[in-house]
Amino acid sequence: MENCNAKHSCVKTETPLPTRVLDIAVEVGVDTKAIRLVEPQGQNGKYIAVSHCWGHSHRIKTTKATIEQFKSEITYISLPKTFKHAVVYARELNIRYLWIDTLCIIQDDHLDWEREASRMGRFYKNAYLTIAASSSSDDSSGLFQDMDARMYDVSYVSSDALCHGRPGLWNTIPDTHIKKNGTYPMFAFDPDNGSAFVVYQAEAGIAKLFLTPEWMPSSTKANPLTYCIGEFGRSYDPLDQEPLSERGWTLQERLLSPRTIHFGSDQMYWECQECLLAEDGAIFSPNCRTVPTIRAVGLWDAVPEVQELSMVGKADRKEYICSDDDNGSSLSSCDWSWSWKSTWTRIIENYSTRLLTVENDKLPALAGLARSMAERTGDFYQAGLWKSMLPDLLFWKVVVSEPTHMCKDPGHDKLLPPPWKSEVVVPPAYRAPSWSWASVDASVEFGWLRSEGPLTEILECRVELAGSDTFSRVKSGYIKIKVGDLSRTLACKRLVSQQIDNVLRHR
């Protein structure tokens, strides 16, 4: 964090405090500090936001019945372990205020919940730091995992090996099929202790040997140096498998937080706008598509408390993008549309894999992110889809994996993983129109539509909101599409002059 404070532009000056925060440094005696729920009412300051899984254990929470008591004092002993750790951590960093949704939103007050939920994105975006209890599936777990209990449960596989995209120790080596003058480069592999592989540059006549950390001597592990994780054609998120990454609400909490300390299962990670750095020294490349776009969109920049979305027009957006050229992450105007669309589809594909305790939170749990994007892009949001991206965002489907191969050897069928389709659940109560991904609980993915030769025209897209938040729940919606009669004209060019049978036949 000191490095980030000194060298990065991530750190902010004091920002408006949330509606309610925990003041964890109330002086009640010599070296004695109490915790109290306070309402800063527009005051600026530094605060830490907490991203956590609620879990199912008994917990305290702010309700209409407890809020007055909590304004007086919240006893440290009454907090679940994760919150206790957060208090200790914040005090160590000399940060006076904490924001935890459980305690800073009145949980049984519908109006308060709706209002504060709509501001939640801003609360994370304005935080001096976010503490993410990444490895904890319950508030009672604490930030730190018991390393003794899990050590040696499984073989250690380094992130460097995992980023090859083929998890499992036996699969950590990329395929190498290199032959020159009848000789192969030297190749070594020890599945019990680690992996190594060779990259051969034919033109230069050079073979490079790469070792993953499992092969490094123990003295090296004890004194780690900063090193970069290779991508090998794909980016790798070391936090992807953590319990916190399974939850719906926490996606926007991570994406909107300018700086986060993740308390992971194996180690801690620092994530800011410039890097994702592991405790052992590994530096991970930022997601090459999402992060630059989020940075260019300006999600991490401070936004005025009240902003009319209509005031942010397309011209303003272009001007903003053009000015963002100082860190190599800017997007040219021709890249803008693609990047913006690509970023959103990747976000939704990730979000759709996550779980929500309250099924009706599907749109609210992403509302903060949508609001932030709308504030920067001027786009219009309709039940999870952006107006500027229609009809492309209509073309989503439930994830299906039906592996196949091109050869004729039936023996290869046995080597393929079995077919798989995401579970699909329709919520019992109406949640979104059928054309929205939010209408079902399922992992979804987006296809790409070619832009030339549009066959349709979006005439109208409307939703009726269920509440006051434009980016949250809806109670109805429709889309009107003007479409040509393809059944009369679908044909190959060389057949156009011939008679065309309009019937769709099936074998």
Partner 1 sequence: MIEIRSNLDITRNKAKFPYSASVCYESHNSKTQGTAFFDFDPQFPCYALFLSPEGALLLKRGTDEGTHIRIGVAIWYPERTVRTDVGMGSICSVEEDLVDIWADRTTWQVVTIV
Q: Which positions touch partner 1 (CB under 8 A)?
A: 391-392, 394-398, 400, 402, 404, 413, 419-421, 424, 433-435, 439-440, 442, 447, 449-457, 459, 476-496, 498-507
* Residue (199 or 486) nearer to partner 1, CB: 486
The nearest distance, CB 492 to partner 1, in angstroms, is 5
Task: Tell me the residue type at 44.
Answer: N
The nearest distance, CB 74 to partner 1, in angstroms, is 46
Q: Which of 126, 121, 122, 135 is nearest to 82 (CA)?
A: 135
DSSP class per residue in 171-188? G-SPP----BTTB-----
Strands (E), 184-339: 189-190, 194-201, 206-211, 227-228, 259-263, 268-272, 276-278, 282-284
- For residues 440 and 422, the answer to whether their CB atoms sit within 8 Å is no
* Residue (209 or 449) nearer to partner 1, CB: 449
Block residue for tokens 């609210």: 364
DSSP class per residue in 450-499? --SS--EEEEEEEEEESSS-TTS-EEEEEEEEEE--GGGT---GGGTTS-
Dihedral angle at the C-alpha atoms of 449, 450, 451, 454, nearest 10 degrees?
Answer: -80
* Residue (68 or 501) nearer to partner 1, CB: 501
- For residues 382 and 276, the answer to whether their CB atoms sit within 8 Å is no
* Residue (184 or 478) nearer to partner 1, CB: 478
Q: How many CB atoms lie within 10 A of CB 345?
A: 22
- For residues 159 and 278, the answer to whether their CB atoms sit within 8 Å is yes
* Residue (332 or 456) nearer to partner 1, CB: 456
Task: Tell me the residue type at 201.
Answer: Q
Q: Which of 311, 460, 465, 457 is nearest to 376 (CA)?
A: 311
The nearest distance, CB 4 to partner 1, in angstroms, is 43
Q: Cis (ω within 30 of 0) for the bond into 391?
A: yes
The nearest distance, CB 375 to partner 1, in angstroms, is 29
Q: Which uninterrupted H or E stretch holds 246?
A: none
The nearest distance, CB 461 to partner 1, in angstroms, is 10
* Residue (49 or 394) nearer to partner 1, CB: 394
Q: How many CB atoms lie within 10 A of CB 222?
A: 7
Using DSSP's 3-state secondary structure scheme, residue 254 falls into helix
* Residue (183 or 497) nearer to partner 1, CB: 497
The nearest distance, CB 469 to partner 1, in angstroms, is 22
Cα 20 to its chain centre, rounded Å, is 26
The nearest distance, CB 303 to partner 1, in angstroms, is 34
* Residue (302 or 458) nearer to partner 1, CB: 458
* Residue (154 or 406) nearer to partner 1, CB: 406
* Residue (168 or 484) nearer to partner 1, CB: 484
Q: Which uninterrupted H or E stretch holds 251?
A: helix 249-256
Q: How many angstroms separate the first and last alpha carbons of the chain?
A: 64
* Residue (74 or 463) nearer to partner 1, CB: 463
The nearest distance, CB 403 to partner 1, in angstroms, is 8
The nearest distance, CB 417 to partner 1, in angstroms, is 12
The nearest distance, CB 318 to partner 1, in angstroms, is 27
* Residue (165 or 454) nearer to partner 1, CB: 454
Give the CA angle between residues 35, 37, 38 to the nearest 5°. Answer: 120
The nearest distance, CB 450 to partner 1, in angstroms, is 5
User: What tokens does 173 get?
Assistant: 């080596």
CA distance 285 to 283: 7
Task: Tell me the residue type at 368.
Answer: G
The nearest distance, CB 455 to partner 1, in angstroms, is 5
